[in-house]
Every structure is written in C-alpha cells, then in structure tokens.
Amino acid sequence: MKTKGAATIEGSQSRRVRAAVLVFAVFGMMAAPVLLHAQTCCSGGVPLGGSLGLGAAENQALQILVTYDYNALNDLVDISEQLDDQTRSRITHSSIIEVNYGLTNRFSLTGVLPFIRQERNIQAFGGTEDFTAAQGLGDVVLLAKYRLINPEKGSDIDWVVGAGPKIPTAKTDFTNNQGLVMAADMQPGSGSLDGIFWSSFQKNRFLKNPNLGLVAVTTFRYSGKNRNYNDSQTYQFGNEFQFNLGLNYSLFVKRQVDVFAFFRYRKQAEDLIDGGVFPSSGGQWVYAIPGVNIRFSPDLSLRLSGDIPLYRKLDGTQLTTSYKLTAAVLFNLPLKKKSMFTN
C-alpha cells in the first residue's frame, strides 16, 4: 500500500499518521464509485428481445409498429430480497420502430430500429444528486420469418418462426460527468453482433371459445462480444431467454377491443468482462403483463400494457424493474387490393 511508503517519510509520528490517513481517504474516495457500481449492477438493458411484436405479414403487405417503452428501475434487490434503499434509480426510455414486409403468405422480413435514452440518478451524501444520461440510436435487428402453418388452409393456429442478427450500430462509448466511460448497461447498445431466434404461436378459438386465443412468444438472444469496451476490454452480455404465455379475449362480436394477460419468464446469464464474471449481473424474472388492444380500423390499432414483477432471483445485488409501461401503435399498409392479415 502507498500508505506504507508514506510511513517511511522522515518527520514526526503525527505527520506520518496524517499522511497515511490522507492517502487512505483519497484512495477510498477514488474506489468508492467502482465498488458501489459493482454491488448494484443494473439488470435493465435495452428491451429489444421482448419488443418484437409482429408476426408474419401477408403477401405484399407492410406493417409498421411504433412502440414506446418506459422502464422504471427503482427496486434494489439482493438475490430475492428487496432492500430498503431510495438512493438510486434508473429509467430507460425506448422508442422502437418495427417494420414488417410480407414477401409471400409464408415469408416476411422484419427490421427493428430503436432509439434509447438511459437515465441514472444517485443520491449522494449531503443531499446532492448525481444525474447521468445517455441517448442515441440503438442496435438494429433484422429477422427473416417463416409461417410454419399455412393460414389459407383455414387452421386456427398461426405459428411463425424467425432468426437474424442484432447488428452493433449503436454508440457504446458515452461518458459520464467525470469523463469516464459509462457502464455497459448504460449504453444505448451492446457493441456486439448477436443472434436472435424468435417464435410466435397463436391458437384461435381456444377451448372452443371463438373470442378466446392462446398466445406464446419465445425469444432467445445469443450474445457476441464487444471487444472495444472502454477502449481495451472485452465485454459480453449474458445470453438471454424470454418466454411469454397468455390469453387474449375479444370483448365484442366485431372484435374491436381485446383484453389480454400474459406471464413473462426471463432468464439472463451473467455478463463477462475479459473472460471473467461481471459482479451482480444475470438472474431470473417473472412478470405479469395485463393490457388492452383497440382496433380503430383493420389498418390501425393501439395497444397498451404494463409489466408487474412477480418473482426475481438475481445473481448478487442489482437495481431492477419496479414497473414498465408500454404503448404501441400498429399501422397496416396494404400494397395491393387484398385485405391485410391482422393480429
């Protein structure tokens, strides 16, 4: 320790003690933000995997889904226990445009472009606040989708699968007020080339009820590596698995208003930095997601939903979601006279 070096300086015993205390205090203040961050890694991140909301479009049909996602991360959780801590909070604003084009009734292409704003607020000693924010375009996702069951056969089942890359188009070197590179989970993107695998299954007339539908959506992200994190380190987010299962019920004969309730299970492996485990990252979550979908016309609909955490088992101590609110508008743009496929 440098304090031992200070102790060898010639002078009185009191001067040596004061020098040692000063050096220790300086190093303590320098290390405190690092230690504090390691103990409270955030499990938020950019919600691209859970925001893929479109199935497969009809032949020569274009769908545009515009989504706004407000993710409030105020709960400090140690494994499964929520701690009484009001000193820090996080908010993630995600504005996402998803475009879906049908090449045929079975094949379609999807592109996702997000704009992300991350905000972090820490209550420091003495009542002062440390506010940090970063915003910018996120990583682009491209998917090729295939409808496994032909809807023209009159089946009540619509099953679509897809796969494609998440391309590292976002900036990942935003700095804080002290000029230091922000943590990886505060950046708009991951800086890595990832693989996305996706499946959407819907069973209409569930339990022989013409207004009831069963929906299951699965997403898996295989994470690549950001080899230029903090200019010299390699950072890799943990692989992520999400499974959504729920029911959709049409309230009226014309099916203009649907109510739905889902359960979402999310599991993310621990992050890695330079091949080692990044402290307090990864875990398992279960959310309840109630919502409503309003169809103003066959080509325009509005969806409102919210995520409520039911279960959390985290690796270490993390700041995690208290609640999440989502609003989405779907536009169907017919490019030929044939009517569009709607959800």
Least confident of 120-134, 177-191, 223-237: 120-134
* pTM, to two decimals: 0.81
Highest mean pLDDT among 46-60, 173-187, 299-313: 299-313
Helix (H) or strand (E) holding 328: strand 323-334
3-state class (DSSP) for residue 18: helix
d(CA 74, CA 83): 11
d(CA 9, CA 132): 41
Mean pLDDT of 172-187: 88
3-state class (DSSP) for residue 226: strand
Q: Which fold has domain 40-334?
A: Porin (2.40.160)
Per DSSP bridges, beta strands 257-268 and 283-297 are antiparallel
Mean pLDDT of 153-179: 89
Mean pLDDT of 27-43: 38
By the 8 A CB rule, do 74 and 322 touch?
A: yes
Residue pLDDT, tens place only, 233-263: 999 999 999 999 999 999 875 668 999 999 9
Mean pLDDT of 85-102: 92
Kindly list the domain boundaries of the chain, sorted by start residue: 40-334
Q: For the chain, what percentages of helix, strand and coil (3-state, to nearest 5) are there?
A: 15, 55, 30
Residue pLDDT, tens place only, 218-240: 999 999 999 999 888 999 999 99
Highest mean pLDDT among 26-30, 193-197, 201-205: 193-197
